[in-house]
Amino acid sequence: MFDSLISSTDGTVSIGASLICILVSLALGAVISVTYVLFMKKKGVSEHFTLTMVVLPAIVTAVILMVGSNIARAFSLAGIFALIRFRSVPGDAKDIAFVFLAATVGLTNGMGYIGFGALFTLILCVSFLVFGRICQNFFKDTSKQLKILIPEDMNYQEAFDDLMKKYTQGFELEKVKTTNLGSLFELTYKINVEDGYNEKEFIDEIRCRNGNLNISISKSEPKTQQL
């Protein structure tokens, strides 16, 4: 089951074996992509990223099939990890894990071990779904985004800290920007709240301090994938 399809010792690979490796990589890439969509549901999935998960294993497989020697494989693998590092700068930890999974499956299939690649994909995809469900039950996302407009003459530093401590489990001032030609400040907070907290009372107390200017509370904006 774990024998390689590529048994040639002279560096040549048959067309049939190459097609099998690439087609299996595409199929396993589709499985990884579907797993990613199920794992990331309700969090804003990018269609470009899901498509990339389908084709990435096949691309890596083709690269490995084209290079024959161990030295060449080492250089190509270094290039793959360099690309992953570039992708990891603006991304999310879960995205990085799926990119590593897709690249590893492509590398495995490129070396002809399609049985091992299929088993590895199955184990990892099931693990993502199972542990993802467990984490959702134990670590519920209670974060929200709070935006408050205040007059330009109001000192925003620690102006709402006592209300934040009263109504939230944790808070962080993430951004401050001017608006309305500099006559107003817009404060953006990330807050963590408990289920059933009195949101109306929270907003009413903020209104008393910011002069009844605009206030908005929404879910934290999800990060978008750009791969």
Model pLDDT for residues 141-193, shown as the tens digit of each residue = 678 899 999 999 998 888 899 999 989 988 999 999 999 888 899 999 999 88
Distance CA 160, CA 206 (A): 7
Q: What is the pLDDT of residues 72-108, one digit of tens each?
A: 655 666 566 655 555 544 456 788 888 889 988 988 8
Check: CB of residue 94 under 8 Å from CB of residue 40: yes
pLDDT higher than 90, residue 196? no
| CB-based contacts of 129, cutoff 8 Å, min separation 6 | 35, 38, 39
Q: Sort strands 143-151 and 170-179 into parallel, antiparallel or unpaired.
A: unpaired
Number of helices and strands (H, E) in the chain? 7, 4
Q: What is the pLDDT of residues 47-72, one digit of tens each?
A: 888 888 899 899 888 888 877 655 56
Distance CA 52, CA 56 (A): 6
**Domains detected in the chain:** 15-138 (no CATH), 143-219 (3.30.70.260)
**Mean pLDDT, rounded, for 196-216:** 90
Nearest to 214, CA basis, from 117, 146, 124 = 146
What Cα–Cα distance (Å) separates residue 76 from each residue in 62, 68, 89, 206? Answer: 11, 11, 21, 57
Q: What is the pLDDT of residues 34-49, one digit of tens each?
A: 999 888 776 667 788 8
Average pLDDT value for the chain = 81
Q: Hey, what's the torsion of the CAs at 46, 126, 92, 40, to 10 degrees?
A: 40
pTM confidence score? 0.61
The pLDDT, as a whole number, for residue 43 is 65
Token couple for 18: 């190459």
The pLDDT, as a whole number, for residue 63 is 80
The pLDDT, as a whole number, for residue 72 is 61
Strand order in the sheet with 143-151: 170-179, 184-192, 143-151, 215-219
| CB-based contacts of 31, cutoff 8 Å, min separation 6 | 121, 122, 125
